[in-house]
Structure 1
Amino acid sequence: MLLKVSYPLHLVYKGITSFRNFLFDQGLLKEFHPEVPTIGVGNLTVGGTGKTPMVDYLLDLLSDRNLGVISRGYGRKTKGFLEIRPSSSAEEVGDEPRMLADKHPEARFFVSEDRVKGIQRARDLYSDIHTFVFDDVYQHRYLKPDFLILLSDYHRPFYKDHVLPYGRLRESRKGADRADVVIITKCPLDISESEKKGIEKEVRRYSTSPVFFASYQIQVPQNGKGNQLEKGSKVVLLSAIAENKKFFEQQSKNYEIIKHYAFRDHYKIPPIKIKEILSKHQDVAILTTEKDLVKIRQDIGTEDLDRVFTPVVKVEMGEDFGKYLRTQLGFVEKP
């Protein structure tokens, strides 16, 4: 029954998104090309391809540039253009932009649903920004970045998926041909060259752009003082992300999980619930994600912060990608 309903809706949605792309491709809907170098990060899939860790990686990779970052600010309670300042809360600007701004104080961060207006406002404020990075911009076609990165999850590649609601794609697989580069994310560290070639062959059906491979490595959880969580410890998991189940599976390999409090992605867990969890599990470490911590930190007393740990996700790629990116954008090699 579900298939009978979802497949016709899938055809309708696919038709609408394909027609929209056709209008842009023919120039009937206009794209804005900023005057400064711009990088766009996005995907064809609804959630879960690792956009935020990749933006984090790009900011490290281009740390010699004067950077600006523009996100939609998904889940925020405000609207319009906002600059992210040290005093901005996750509720005002979104959890992921707030987290990235904390990690990269040298860059300037902004949120704006309208990316074109966003970069125009940001440029008015800071004309010295050399390069802009746009998070989750693949379907925002009114903006045309100089370098558009398409992310695809190794475990759920776009070339095996279907358009909503029959699958998880936001648009047809053909949309991959807009990418300047395709990055397969969350690859195993020991992925073989033969498997890479097989994946590249599948991608080539939809895109002729270079294909790179990235591993997402989960570091040992640390608290605010930099103390690591001892392997085998009893923990309570607390997460409001797109892949709660995967978070549980990853942490259960190293820790004894007593309870997992899981909520929908970007959900702001009420302070009273945080206090209830802390009170119920007074002698147990709390293990949460980086983006969840930026939302709940103010609700945790100083006496409990030391037992709150977060694992950092690090992207690992070869040097070839960084060199290729800089070459395409005309940047000199990083000193």
Structure 2
Amino acid sequence: MRRLRLLLLPFSILYGAIVFVRNWMFDNGWLKSTSYDVPVICVGNLSVGGTGKSPMIEYLIRLTKANYNVATLSRGYKRKTSGFLVANAETTAADIGDEPLQFYSKFGDEIIVSVEAQRTVGIEKLQLLSNKPDIILLDDAFQHRKVTAGFNIVLTPYNDLYVNDFMLPAGNLREPKSGAKRANVIVVTKCPTIVAKSEMLQITDQLKPNAQQHVFFTTIAYSETVQNETAQLPLFSLKDEPFVLVTGIANPKPLLEYVNDLGLLYTHLKYPDHHDFSESELNTITQKAGNQKIVTTEKDFMRLQGRLDNLYYLPIEVAFLADEDVFQEQVMQFIDVSI
């Protein structure tokens, strides 16, 4: 498959040139980009999907919500609505998308969860709310150059660094590697739980950060339980109980490696990222499961809850391997200076 994609390199060169010119026009003021008085933190990437943006947004929410009124602003990918919406207790994944619903399900009215495809419009609408936010977290908006975020966090997976990739369609990059220079920090995500200092230095050299950029390393911290709206079970209780594992995410490999390392017995049903499950697919999952439990990711649970019986999800969080205090200090210093 990779060799076939390499045949598309001429198209990648053309696409890369177009994006490079677009970025140059924003950088030099030929295209308008708006800055805001409210602190805006953008979490994004250079590649398509699967870098861990949602767990990083949740990390930032936990870091800031005690002291500030926090809003998240997402596009609301694959939602069946349009325009600006703020989540409430009646909101569904069809209304705002699975990832924003995940934020609301986890934090509720402690934060403002909003969606709007045009981020400039979304920020303006948020500032008109009676409980307008002190901070806005932009989810997956690094390429949305019409907004000048005050602090940019670029994510890149440990096993798929952007420096080793090509532009679309031959590779998975949405913009040239040089775009990473706009970031304040670069975070290498989905690392093994132990990475030697020497390897961190080697990866940092590969990424070639500028003098102002710090490179951080994180891993996925999986919960010790699976849960749903009413129940919570120790993950280890599935040790001798086969289950069906359903994934509709860009890169299920780290999850599969984790459950394999635990020695769990499962049947994996893989679907595309943000998949909209049909009734026939739900019937297939139900038939495969029989009396077995069905385990899925937290994001997929947002789309599957109430549609499958015996359904559980496995929560995850970001865990820093080093220098977490430095990361937190940089974020909080940006906020404090900006407010």
Query: How does the TM-score come out when normalised to structure 1?
Result: 0.91
Quick one: which of 111, 125, 129 aligns to 1:125? 129
C-alpha separation between the residues in 2 aligned to 1:190 and 1:249?
Answer: 15
For 1:242-253, list aligned pairs within 5 A: 242-253=250-261
Matched to 1:144, the amino acid is: T
CA drift of 1:52 comes to 0.6
Q: How much has 1:60 moved relative to structure 2? A: 0.6
**1:216-295 to 2 correspondences below 5 Å:** 216-224=220-228, 225-229=231-235, 230-232=237-239, 233-295=241-303
- Of the structure 1 ranges 26-35 and 321-330, higher mean CA displacement relative to structure 2 is found in 321-330
**1:116 pairs with one of 88, 113, 120:** 120
- Match status 1:100 vs 2:108: no
Shift of 1:5: 3.6
| Mapped pair 1:60 → 2:66 | no
**Using the alignment, how far apart are the partners of 1:175 and 1:207 within structure 2?**
15
- Displacement of 1:3 in angstroms is 5.5
Q: Deviation of residue 235 (structure 1)?
A: 0.8
RMSD: 2.0
Q: How has the CA–CA distance of structure 1 residues 189 and 252 changed in structure 2, closer, same or farther, with 3 Å as cutoff?
A: closer
Deviations 1:251-290 (A, max 9, x none): 2333544422221111121245435533553321111111
Contact 2:78–2:97 at 8 Å: present in 1 too?
Answer: yes
Q: Select which of 71, 79, 93 maps to 1:76.
A: 79
Tell me, in whole angstroms, the C-alpha distance in 1 between the residues paired with 2:86 and 2:140: 18
The equivalences for 1:1-80 within 5 A come to 2=4, 5-64=7-66, 65-80=68-83
Aligned length: 327
Quick one: distance in 2 between partners of 1:187 and 1:4?
A: 27
> Given the alignment, which residue of 202, 209, 212 partners 2:213?
209
Per-residue CA deviations over 1:269-317 (Å, capped at 9, x if unaligned) read: 12454355335533211111111111111223xxx3xx32211111112
Alignment correspondent of 2:329: 323
* Residue type at the aligned position of 1:140: H
Q: Following TM superposition, by how much is the alpha carbon of 1:127 offset from its aligned partner in structure 2, in angstroms?
A: 4.9
3-state SS in 1 of match to 2:305 = helix
In structure 1, C-alpha distance between the alignment counterparts of 2:272 and 2:265, rounded to whole Å: 19
Cα pair 1:177 1:207 within 8 Å, conserved: no
C-alpha change, 1:280 and 1:3, in structure 2 (3 Å) is: closer
* Structure 2 unpaired stretches of 5+: none
Matches within 5 A, 1:180-219: 180-204=184-208, 208-219=212-223
- Sequence identity, in percent? 32
Corresponding position of 2:150: 146
Give every structure 1 segment of 4 or more consecutive aligned residues whose post-TM-superposition deviation is greater than 6 Å: none
Cα 1:256/1:39, change in 2 over 3 Å: same
Counterpart-to-counterpart distance in 2, 1:320 and 1:159:
24
> In structure 2, what is the Cα distance between the partners aligned to 1:206 and 1:3?
31
Give 3-state SS (helix, strand or coil) of 1:177's partner: helix
Query: Match for 1:268: what amino acid?
Result: D
